[in-house]
């Protein structure tokens, strides 16, 4: 008999955190699950740890593969999952004992979501969700209220039949934002959502990340184009106006890129990049159209439109150097 829930954990060089992560699954109050550990070519003892767990519990399956990134690992998990529901957990995170029981309460909704505790950077606990179920007639309301909060795959339960029927996969060509894109594509096929105010997922945050990789604006632009396309599809399917969400998505990507380049590149490079970015009509329309309440946000947008944003980037650059 197939398990109710498939838990997919990509594993890559996380021997120091893997025990705590897997043990948090073994200690779940809800026991009808299978655990798929996808060893993505780990060079430490992670692969050995995975095999040890598989020998201890028949519900655990291990798959070893050459290193290909988190998306390829998650896709291997999807291909081999047997559960009616799928949840994704990172191997350096952990979940509380009622994680699965909180997410799975019935088979009525297509996706269930809760929020998380962020630890290790600026530690905080946030629960922006209220206990609520959005039915098929309330999808416009859901997209407006929650879409920008649905950017991470963890803390969620996905109906496996939808993933299988529409052959949904994580985009392995992307190095950033592939998890958000997967969720937005999944949402195109749903009819109901349940959100929970319970916070049972512990996300271990190591800061902004990406600093060890040389990401160009082309990479950010690629994911931005795909995210905007997915949002436009949601607009068409649910007869919903997503213009404001599109603008906010553009701004999120821009700010992420500005922070990134200001932390590793020279001031002349920063200015050159920003001048080039602001030539895009999509970018300018988003800056002009996004609704900003704070005076700081309005000032930053003014700097963008008047080609002075590089001043803010310099401040970030100097702050990073000082720290």
Across 228-251, average pLDDT = 95
Same domain, 269 and 296: yes
Tokens read off for 283: 């970018």
The proportion of the chain whose per-residue pLDDT surpasses 90, expressed as a percent, equals 64
Residues 188 and 56 in one domain: yes
Of the residues 204, 238, 271, which one is the last residue of a structural domain? 204
Q: Alpha carbon 103 to chain centroid distance?
A: 17
Most confident residue range from 114-118, 192-196, 199-203? 192-196
Give 130 or 127, the one with higher predicted confidence.
Answer: 130
User: Once rounded to an integer, what is the mean pLDDT over residues 73-93?
Assistant: 98
Query: Are 69 and 189 within one domain?
Result: yes
Contact criterion met (CB below 8 Å) for 174 and 222: yes
Considering the domain boundaries, does residue 30 fall inside one? yes
Residues whose CB falls within 8 Å of the CB of residue 294, separated by 6 or more in sequence, listed in order: none
Residue 176 shares a structural domain with residue 54: yes
* Lowest mean pLDDT, pick from 50-54, 101-105, 198-202, 296-300: 296-300
Confidence at residue 127, expressed as pLDDT on a 0 to 100 scale:
59
Using the structure block, give the residue that is written with the tokens 């909704």. Answer: 109
**pLDDT confidence of residue 310:** 56
CB neighbours (10 Å) of residue 260? Answer: 20
Q: Is 189 helix (H, G, I), strand (E, B) or coil?
A: coil
Residue 154 within any structural domain of the chain:
yes
Does the pLDDT value for residue 250 go beyond 60? yes
Structural domain including 259 reads 217-322
Token pair, residue 173, equals: 């060509």
pLDDT score for 211? 39
User: 291 and 200, same structural domain?
Assistant: no
Residue 210 lies in a domain: no
Question: What was the pLDDT predicted at 210?
Answer: 36
What's the confidence (pLDDT) of residue 208?
44
Spacing of C-alpha 165 from chain mean position: 22
- Give yes or no for a contact between 205 and 118, defined as CB atoms under 8 angstroms apart: yes
* In the predicted structure, residue 213 carries a pLDDT above the cut 80: no
Q: How many residues does the chain have?
A: 323
Q: What number is the average pLDDT over the span 284-288?
A: 81
Claim to verify: residue 94 and residue 170 sit in the same structural domain: yes
Residues 164 and 283 in one domain: no
Does some domain include residue 209? no
Sequence-separated (6 or more) residues with CB below 8 Å from residue 214 = none
- Identify the domain boundary among 154, 183, 204: 204
Strands 193-204, 111-119: pairing is parallel
CB–CB of 192/136 below 8 Å?
yes
The pLDDT tens digits of the residues spanning 138-163 come to: 999 999 999 999 999 999 999 999 99
What is the structure's pLDDT at 214?
Answer: 59
Residue 212 lies in a domain: no
**Residue 146 shares a structural domain with residue 252:** no
Number of domains forming the structure of the chain: 2
pLDDT for residue 83: 98
Instruction: Calculate the average pLDDT of the chain.
Output: 87
Q: Within a domain: residue 211?
A: no
Residue 260 lies in a domain: yes
Q: Please say which residue of 170, 204, 238 terminates a domain.
A: 204
- Do 308 and 267 fall into the same domain? yes
Q: What is the mean pLDDT of residues 19-44?
A: 98
Are residues 233 and 145 part of one domain? Answer: no
The C-alpha angle with vertex 34 and arms to 103 and 18, in degrees rounded to 5, equals 90
The mean per-residue pLDDT over the stretch 246-266 comes to: 82
Domain holding 64: CATH number?
Answer: 3.90.550.10
Q: Clarify whether residues 52 and 170 are in a common domain.
A: yes
pLDDT-based confidence at 305, cuts 50/70/90? Answer: low
Residue 61 has pLDDT above 90, yes or no: yes
Q: Do 157 and 96 share a structural domain?
A: yes
User: Which of 253 and 10 is assigned the larger pLDDT?
Assistant: 10
Residue 107 lies in a domain: yes
Residue 315: the pLDDT is 56
pLDDT in the model for residue 293: 60
pLDDT-derived band of residue 66, with 50, 70 and 90 as boundaries?
Answer: very high
């Amino acid at each position: 008999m197939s398990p109710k829930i498939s838990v997919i954990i990509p594993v890559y060089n996380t021997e120091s955190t893997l025990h705590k992560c897997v043990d948090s699954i073994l200690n779940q109050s809800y026991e009808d699950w299978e655990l798929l550990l996808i060893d993505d070519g780990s060079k430490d003892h992670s692969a050995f740890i995975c095999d040890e767990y598989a020998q201890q519990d028949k519900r655990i399956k291990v798959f070893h593969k050459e290193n290909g990134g988190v998306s390829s690992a998650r896709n291997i998990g999807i291909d081999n999952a047997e559960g009616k529901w799928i949840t994704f957990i990172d191997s350096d995170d952990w979940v509380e004992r009622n994680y699965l029981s909180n997410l799975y309460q019935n088979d009525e909704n297509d996706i269930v979501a809760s929020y998380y505790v962020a630890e290790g950077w600026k530690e905080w606990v946030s629960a922006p969700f209220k206990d609520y179920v959005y039915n098929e007639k309330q999808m416009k309301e859901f997209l407006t209220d929650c879409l920008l909060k649905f950017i991470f795959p963890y803390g969620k339960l996905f109906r496996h039949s939808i993933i299988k029927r529409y052959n949904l996969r994580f985009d392995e060509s992307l190095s950033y934002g592939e998890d958000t894109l997967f969720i937005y594509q999944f949402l195109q096929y749903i009819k109901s959502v349940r959100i929970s105010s319970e916070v049972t997922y512990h996300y271990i945050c190591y800061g902004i990340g990406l600093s060890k990789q040389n990401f160009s604006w082309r990479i950010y632009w690629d994911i931005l184009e795909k995210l905007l396309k997915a949002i436009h599809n949601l607009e068409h399917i649910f007869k919903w106006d997503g213009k404001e969400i599109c603008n906010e998505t553009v701004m999120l990507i821009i700010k992420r890129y500005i922070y990134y380049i200001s932390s590793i590149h020279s001031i002349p490079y920063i200015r050159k990049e920003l001048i080039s970015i602001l030539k895009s009509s999509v970018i300018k329309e988003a800056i002009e159209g996004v609704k900003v309440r704070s005076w700081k946000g309005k000032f930053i947008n003014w700097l963008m439109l008047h080609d002075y944003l590089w001043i803010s980037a310099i401040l970030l650059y100097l702050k990073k150097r000082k720290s």
